Structure 1
Amino acid sequence: MSVSQQVFHRAADRADATVAATIAPAERQGDQAPLVLDLDGTLLRTDLLYESFVAYLRHNPLGFWRVFGWVLKGKAHVKRELAAAAPLDLDSLPVNEDVAAYAVEARASGREVYLATAADGDLARRIAARFPFLTGVIASDGVTNLKGGHKAEALAAQFPDGFSYAGDCRADLAVWRTSREIVLVGASPAVEKAARAIGEPVAVFPRPPSGLKVYAKALRLHQWAKNLLIFVPLILGGKTLDPAAWGATTAGFLALGLLASATYLLNDLTDLPDDRRHWSKRERPLAKGSLPIRTALILAPLGLAVSFGIGAALGPPALVMLGLYLALTLAYSLRLKREPIVDGFVLACLFTLRLGFGIVLAQVVTSPWLLTFSMFLFLSLSFAKRHTEVERMVQHGIKKTAGRGYRAGDGPLLLAVGASAGVGSVLVMVLYLIQEAFPAGYYTKPAFLWAFPAVLFLWVGRVWLLCQRGELKDDPVAFALKDRTSIALGGVMAAAFLASHIGQF
């Protein structure tokens, strides 16, 4: 089948009297040239090839090697196979609303609006059903990849009297050379300069923000604060003045941060359809389309490689701890986060693994009380996060959130389990002080340490009070880093810790 035969007219395919009545044949439009829209990066803020690839791996991870066989048969063939095998959530794909509004206005003025895309024709037609302003679709056919010169030839043959073309990348320059009008959508400065050398654009849609803030948000750099836990064993283990311990732990902090950022990207790729339907996660860079999927597919393995490279330099024990963290994180992302209660337990384990990594790096012997305390405390905070999400579900009238195992009625259970775990962490702290801290003689004035369980109780109580009131954000750890009361309580604990060592404030 030739590319030109991939064109279809909506009025012929759909019994829609209203649409059919408003469509004017191209030969009767006079000087109104048809508006032709590219799909990837133009009408959509994403690339369907990468969307299909990720969706395919999401549902068939072991089928990765099949893609190599498809590639050998050409790009158009890959697109055809992925379009058939990948279950894409087409209705949630991010749309460039400005371009869509421009197309609606053109259609209202009597112009025909076509979609011309290098995406596979079957997939393109399914997406076209989402946009009632489209007259028809011109797309790849499984043999010819409709991009660059191929697209230019197909459009010139389809619209011999001229057309207006909206595109975004260097491959579209060949199309603009044959078009009557140029519409630039999110083009890079180099592409815009080359396009203006061909002709003055009739419309320019600027590129979405793609600076350091977008990358920082996608990589969750603010979450690196959680990795400061690896310094706790060093401080509590009596190696505060050991430069070698500080050097190894700092390198480990960097390795763990890179690993965490890489796994966040992998998690977001896995969760794309669910995140796009979530009230807050839809603003994540990958879900929103402000960070290209292909960029994430490069950054994730790069982060993993550098992280494990640092781990190898630190020694086998560090490498093993990074491997455990990666394995548990992947298990969480792929399956365990969908299991109620289990997900909170896994998150607590990941926090406690940070402490274990710190123990390995600083080469100290740390009390099991520390790891037990960590499990109880972070179990409480994990369930606080889930409780907040459940309450948001209720507010939005949702009975069950996609990608999670909780239902709207699970709030009371999460409140009970989470608050109990928080109180349990206070109890573990008290037992640690009585059973180990005071008798061990580590501290000059250990009585100051009684401030710890008191402050901890106040903070945990505050977290759950705000959580129950619906005033807590999704992540209680991120909330604590910005909340003035939490910061003040943390200052009290730091002062008490110093006083226990030096004997006075």
Structure 2
Amino acid sequence: MDKISNTPLVVDLDGTLTPTDTLVESVIRIIRQSPINLLWLPFWLIHGRAGFKEKIAARSSICVELLPYHEPLLDYLRKEKAKGRRIVLATAAHQSIARAVAGHIGLFDQVLATAKNHNLKGATKLQAIRENVGSSFIYAGDSRADIPIWKAAEAAILVNVSWNTEKAVRQHVPIEHQLQGSDSVFALWFQALRIHQWLKNLLMFVPLLTAFSFLDISKLTLMILAFLSFSLAASATYIGNDIWDLENDRAHPRKRYRPFASGRLSILKGLAASAFLLLAAFTLALMVSSGFALMLLLYLALTSIYSLVLKEYMLIDVLMLSLLYTLRILAGSVAINVSTSSWLLSFSVFIFLSLALVKRCAELVSLEQNGATATRGRDYRVTDLTVLRPLGVGAALSSVVVFELFINAPETQHLYKTPHLLWLAAIGLIYWLARLWVKTSRGEMHDDPVIYAAKDRGSRITVMCIVTVILATHFLTVSALL
């Protein structure tokens, strides 16, 4: 055991020291810098894996300070370093990435990595370890591909390996140390898909409610299919956006814990899941109608434009968010083939602009509380709160004004049996929106106001009262109420 405790430690990078794949992240980074690079990737692969990594590294530099790291492994390496043990980083990642990581961590005595025409993977990595470290070493890895290196080692350090891999390694070498994550895969995917965000798509049921057709089974069935279609598509875009925005999320105090930003879910698996969800979403959309499928396509196009470009521009991003919310209502109208009034569209634009500004202000308040001065990846500063707060409150009040004008509109008198009761709904609306803004100013608001409203008891009661009043206004006469 004493011999093993003094044996040099050779540590892998991707999947071991960091849970993410630095090559995949580098590819995403250069595509983000210029989408035209996507067309060049097949031609760069012609030069072999080492040449491909060289091309990618020349055009991309990962921010190693923001990379997620396996902290328990780092703690173990620090303790061993303090004992005087030699620690070597050996990875198939490009040498520019490996050296940057080594420089940031400050634990490694030597770095072995891919360079030019020399791809340090598999047998090539083992040869490099023997040449630079010797035949006596302990290897820390994470995948089944590392088994040949473990077989040649004195002992193994296992990091988040599968049960089969662990069994195979134990047959050949002793285990010096083992680290296993405790996260539930199901819980991680639930978080990545953001199932809770599907609440936003309940807006699609608004036309069904305002047309008072919720007892029509055929329309209700179509709406459920439409809801599932939009929800699956939304989850696909959330995954895509999280992968696209990795570095910005890692710099955020809360978003850095998202599954892809933290490296707890594989980027490649995320891309595959996103593609599958989109296929399922369009299959359901076509079951509703071709017109609804076009609405879904429009939603995805606008969401992509927002994620890739517009979200980085001040105010334009919140305007786009309000339009995306309103688009959900329009999609619901198309799904059940009912018209949407201009009153409803005007109201939705103002109220969702206010909610979008709540979202931005909540982020800025959080940054202010953490001592930051500006958002990363968005053109907002903490000092903008002095303008954004009154703008958001103004948009909220504008939505209330539109609702009040709707109460006195001629069509309202025909649609509702007791239209004057809608004033009670207007009062409830004022209270709810004011409550959201007070909570935002106090720093108690969730990143998403819709999710906050679903969890907040006061908001739930208020919204239920508003809906109850609207239904009563339509179905009950004054005499029935008396």
**CA apart distance, 1:402:** 1.1
Contact 1:187 1:207 in 2 (8 A): no
* 3-state DSSP of counterpart to 2:223: helix
* 3-state DSSP of counterpart to 1:146: coil
1:81-480 to structure 2, matched below 5 A, reads 81-436=55-410, 438-440=412-414, 442-480=415-453
Aligned mates of 2:4, 2:303 — CA distance in 1: 60
Aligned mates of 1:202, 1:30 — CA distance in 2: 8
- Structure 2: 5+ residue stretches without partners: none
Aligned mates of 2:365, 2:211 — CA distance in 1: 41
Aligned mates of 1:401, 1:235 — CA distance in 2: 38
**CA apart distance, 1:247:** 1.9
**CA apart distance, 1:161:** 4.1
More deviation in 314-323 or 330-339? 314-323
**CA apart distance, 1:284:** 0.9
Could you tell me the percent identity over the aligned residues?
Answer: 38
Aligned mates of 1:417, 1:270 — CA distance in 2: 30
* 3-state DSSP of counterpart to 1:202: strand
1:7-22 to structure 2, matched below 5 A, reads none
Aligned mates of 2:89, 2:152 — CA distance in 1: 16
Aligned mates of 2:323, 2:33 — CA distance in 1: 26
User: What do residues 339-382 of structure 1 show as CA deviations (whole Å, max 9, x unaligned)?
Assistant: 11111110000000000100000100121111111100010011
- For the pair 1:59 / 2:33, whether they are aligned, the reply is yes
**CA apart distance, 1:67:** 0.8
Q: Give the corresponding residue for 1:483.
A: 456
Counterpart AA for 2:417: T
Contact 2:14 2:22 in 1 (8 A): yes
Aligned mates of 1:482, 1:122 — CA distance in 2: 46
**CA apart distance, 1:297:** 1.5
Contact 1:114 1:137 in 2 (8 A): yes
Aligned mates of 2:79, 2:475 — CA distance in 1: 73
**CA apart distance, 1:31:** 7.2
Contact 2:62 2:97 in 1 (8 A): no
Aligned mates of 1:212, 1:65 — CA distance in 2: 35
Contact 2:49 2:119 in 1 (8 A): yes
Aligned mates of 2:404, 2:428 — CA distance in 1: 12
More deviation in 156-165 or 330-339? 156-165
Report the TM-score, using the length of structure 1 for normalisation: 0.91
Aligned mates of 2:412, 2:150 — CA distance in 1: 78
Contact 1:437 1:446 in 2 (8 A): no
User: What do residues 11-68 of structure 1 show as CA deviations (whole Å, max 9, x unaligned)?
Assistant: xxxxxxxxxxxxxxxxxx9972110000011111211111111111111212102111
Contact 1:227 1:354 in 2 (8 A): yes
Counterpart AA for 1:190: N
User: What do residues 316-354 of structure 1 show as CA deviations (whole Å, max 9, x unaligned)?
Assistant: 311221121111111111111111111111000000000
Aligned mates of 1:47, 1:358 — CA distance in 2: 40
Contact 1:148 1:173 in 2 (8 A): no
Aligned mates of 1:133, 1:77 — CA distance in 2: 28
